[in-house]
Structure 1
Amino acid sequence: MRVGSMANLGQIDSANMDSYEHLLQAADLDDLIQAILEHGYEVYGPTLVDKAITYGKILSSADLPQGWTDEQEGGHYRVKRRTDNAYFGYVVGPHSWKKYLQLPHRPIWKSSRQEQEVQIIEIKEDVPKLAFLGVRSCELHAIAIQDRVLIESDYPNSNYRDRRKGLFTVAVNCTTAAPTCFCTAMQTGPAVTLTSDLTMTEVLDGKRHFFLIESGTELGAQILAQLPLKPSTVEEKQQAQKGIESAETQMRQGPRHFDSSDLKELLYRNFESPSWDKVAERCLSCANCTMACPTCFCSTVEDTTDLSGENAERWERWDSCFTSDFSHITGGSVRADTRSRYRQWMTHKLATWHDQFDSSGCVGCGRCITWCPVGIDLTEEVRTIRNLEQP
């Protein structure tokens, strides 16, 4: 099943490196990028901009953050030089792929009045063919979650559907993890477990630098056929497997790993836990966590008119359950304080999302921890609720 299909992304077992029969030298990575460009795609991937690794347009391998990594903790982010020339030796930055699929700000319609006649014009976007390079397993899961929300729900978003439809992805298995990562707790990584057009694992072994690469779709196989590949060996597959296992070990032994098997029931039982009061004392209701989150999908609409009153526009933009206006109805806001807003965000993400969309809304990427100005940690809040529940 293609990652660009409308159905849920297919489960695969990419942790098993036996299927990676092809090896691409790191020096030939640009051939991959050029092959995708030649198929008419706009390629987006990691770039080093303003001292952060963010996603932007990629025209060649020179645009990638080769030799750079990121250092992350609660409320802390820094980029620094690696001791090698890895292309994908970072974790995840402040932006997610949703900014290309669910646009942060877009026009919906415009209208004009001439005498007594009003004309309303729906704005249709000329959607480009999008290709994402360097997608991590947790991010593929995030895209699958947004598919369920914005395509398969009772109220689909046509703009998201059109941008998502022809998406081409090049996924990369994680071989390193940040202290903020907890995808192992959410069963979303570090090995790629959803179908992608292409999936790669980067390996650096002394003077050797290469990628093990496989295709997951027919289009991916067509791209592979254009590349200077050679067969991979058992030893090379083992090296790639060790890298993935190293990332998994870092997380399972790290401070953020926890048991997520009963999260829904735990949060439902503790809707009035005193922990909500404690976290509200620190939370700024700034909405950073929802803006950085790859699955948060809340939006609102803005209507504007010019000074003459003859022309008007409606725009859709991202919004957040942390803003007071988001739940405002006649008589006031439904969630008027920070306690109720944080509780809404966390219980929706980890519990009621299951009832709405048949999965968790969290993929364990850790962005909400890193980009919280006061370092509020979702995994720590889960542990606090669990500990307060004990007699």
Structure 2
Amino acid sequence: MTDAADAGAVPDHQDEAVLDRDGLDALVRVLKRRGRTVIGPTVRDGAIVLAELDSADALPYGWGVELEAGRYRLRRREDGAAFAHSAGPQSWKSFLHPERVRQWSADRGPDGSAVVREEEQESISYAFLGVRPCDLRAIQILDRVMSGGRYRDPTYLSRRTGAFLIAAECTEPGATCFCVSMGSGPAADAGYDLALTEVVDDAGHRFLCRSGSEEGAAVLAELPGRSPDGSTRAAATQAVSAAAERMGRSMPPVDLRTLMRDNLEAERWDDVTARCLSCGNCTMVCPTCFCTTTEDVTDLTGDHAERWRLWDSCYDLDFSLLHGGPVRSTPRSRYRQWLTHKLGTWHDQFDSSGCVGCGRCIVWCPTGIDLTEEAHALHQEATQRENTP
């Protein structure tokens, strides 16, 4: 199992096997027998979502997606592939950093005194099946944010510690994917317990599976697989390499941190914020956005009170509220804060970018704002400014 502390380590264990669909179903059974709650992609309500799986039959075999800015559609595939789809509306953040968490509750006693009970952390032994390499990187980033510093989040730690991660390498990127630009895919290089590469060709439908941890190797040893053959290895390598050449989006080939820092007054900010609704959709679907607020509630009698932690967004007008008013009172200032933090000042806080190139923020923006387009536009404006006498 990959813990937060060793999520970025290079795998020492590289046992390999080729699994078929029955082997994938056996994987789910083995994990459940080991006490794991298995979460993976499945089709529900017109989208590929993440949910608890009773068996591998619930995986989205034969389903793909069509993505564009502000557009998401399921489509049928003829090859029966299980993982030939891009990121859906959810990320694994929903399970590791839940959108609503009760922190404590209090009741008034007979003598009028308050009895406060801190919420006990629920310890869930998760197994995440089908984690894209971009999302694998997102989990590593959340590890640094939520557990890598002086202040460690107990809710995150209770869910993340011991989580078993099964990566699914990307073989068919979507039109909004740009993981290559962010160095987060399409291959899974670290941080997993098992990694799957799906191959569908004339030789059949199979999964090249390799281990990345001691527990991953132990689980793999329990599965009904066969030794990898040269054609399967070659097909898997080719499929991932080809995916890297078919990214739908890209970032400008510049230092994004410097680009954001040096263009805070660019005219492009006015253009993009004329289209931005400040709805916060991009922060809700982002696999690394982590901001929260707190809310205190009582019952009608006033004898019972609770404090809840809720996801929040820097697009909320009150997010930066101080005495006298909000610090960022305009949509321009809020969009600029989000993008410059995600691509720039995140490095100052956490030694990495906050973007993994999954493209969710592009797909689920109701007005189709594309952060890669905005980065290119900022770069173009800066270049024109430098070249103007």
TM-score interval (norm. to shorter): over 0.9
What is the CA distance between 1:83 and its match in structure 2?
A: 1.2
Partner amino acid, structure 1, of 2:190: L
Q: How many pairs align?
A: 383
Maintained 8 Å contact 2:171/2:239: yes
SS at 1:170 equivalent? strand
Q: 1:12 to 1:184 in 2, by over 3 A?
A: farther
For 1:348, the equivalent position in structure 2 comes to: 341
Partner amino acid, structure 1, of 2:67: Q
What is the CA distance between 1:29 and its match in structure 2?
A: 1.4
> What does residue range 360-371 of structure 1 map to in structure 2 within 5 Å?
360-371=353-364
For 1:3, the equivalent position in structure 2 comes to: 2
For 2:272, the equivalent position in structure 1 comes to: 279
Q: 1:5 to 1:100 in 2, by over 3 A?
A: same
Q: What per-residue deviation string (whole Å, max 9, x for no partner) do you get for residues 160-205 of structure 1?
A: 0111001001111111010100000000000002231100100011
* Dislocated runs of 4+, deviation >3 Å: 11-14
For 1:264, the equivalent position in structure 2 comes to: 257
- Candidates 69, 77, 86, aligned match of 1:82: 77
SS at 2:259 equivalent? helix
Q: CA RMSD in A?
A: 1.5
1:325 matched to 2:324? The reply is no
Maintained 8 Å contact 1:142/1:294: yes
1:61 matched to 2:56? The reply is yes
SS at 2:297 equivalent? strand
1:221 matched to 2:217? The reply is yes
For 2:104, the equivalent position in structure 1 comes to: 109
For 2:38, the equivalent position in structure 1 comes to: 43
For 1:192, the equivalent position in structure 2 comes to: 188
For 1:162, the equivalent position in structure 2 comes to: 158
What is the CA distance between 1:257 and its match in structure 2?
A: 1.5
CA distance in 1, matches of 2:91, 2:253: 23
CA distance in 2, matches of 1:235, 1:369: 37
CA distance in 2, matches of 1:12, 1:221: 11
- Candidates 24, 29, 38, aligned match of 1:29: 24
What is the CA distance between 1:13 and its match in structure 2?
A: 11
CA distance in 1, matches of 2:272, 2:50: 31
For 1:237, the equivalent position in structure 2 comes to: 233
Partner amino acid, structure 2, of 1:215: S
What is the CA distance between 1:6 and its match in structure 2?
A: 2.7
Maintained 8 Å contact 1:12/1:195: yes
CA distance in 2, matches of 1:13, 1:272: 47
Maintained 8 Å contact 2:121/2:154: no
SS at 2:128 equivalent? strand
Maintained 8 Å contact 2:124/2:158: no
Maintained 8 Å contact 2:122/2:158: no
Normalised TM-score (structure 2) = 0.96
What is the CA distance between 1:232 and its match in structure 2?
A: 0.9
Q: What per-residue deviation string (whole Å, max 9, x for no partner) do you get for residues 193-244 of structure 1?
A: 2231100100011250111111111111111111111111112100011110
CA distance in 2, matches of 1:354, 1:280: 24
Maintained 8 Å contact 2:179/2:358: yes
For 2:129, the equivalent position in structure 1 comes to: 133
Maintained 8 Å contact 2:134/2:358: yes
For 1:94, the equivalent position in structure 2 comes to: 89
Maintained 8 Å contact 2:6/2:191: no
Q: What per-residue deviation string (whole Å, max 9, x for no partner) do you get for residues 300-353 of structure 1?
A: 000011222221100001000000111111111111110000000000000000
Normalised TM-score (structure 1) = 0.95
SS at 1:107 equivalent? strand
Q: 1:194 to 1:260 in 2, by over 3 A?
A: farther
Maintained 8 Å contact 1:20/1:232: no
Partner amino acid, structure 2, of 1:10: A
Partner amino acid, structure 2, of 1:372: C
Maintained 8 Å contact 1:3/1:9: no
1:300 matched to 2:293? The reply is yes
Maintained 8 Å contact 2:252/2:379: no
- Candidates 245, 258, 264, aligned match of 1:249: 245
CA distance in 2, matches of 1:20, 1:380: 41
For 1:383, the equivalent position in structure 2 comes to: 376
What is the CA distance between 1:260 and its match in structure 2?
A: 4.9
What is the CA distance between 1:20 and its match in structure 2?
A: 6.7
Larger mean CA deviation between 151-160 and 63-72 belongs to 151-160
CA distance in 1, matches of 2:170, 2:4: 24
Maintained 8 Å contact 1:212/1:240: yes
What is the CA distance between 1:155 and its match in structure 2?
A: 2.3
What is the CA distance between 1:133 and its match in structure 2?
A: 0.2
For 1:337, the equivalent position in structure 2 comes to: 330
Q: What per-residue deviation string (whole Å, max 9, x for no partner) do you get for residues 48-103 of structure 1?
A: 00010000010111111110001100000000100111111111100000000001
Maintained 8 Å contact 1:6/1:165: no
Unpaired runs of 5+ in structure 2? Answer: none
CA distance in 2, matches of 1:20, 1:85: 27
CA distance in 1, matches of 2:338, 2:72: 23
Unpaired runs of 5+ in structure 1? Answer: none
Maintained 8 Å contact 1:290/1:296: yes
Maintained 8 Å contact 1:173/1:199: yes
What is the CA distance between 1:8 and its match in structure 2?
A: 4.5
Maintained 8 Å contact 2:292/2:309: yes
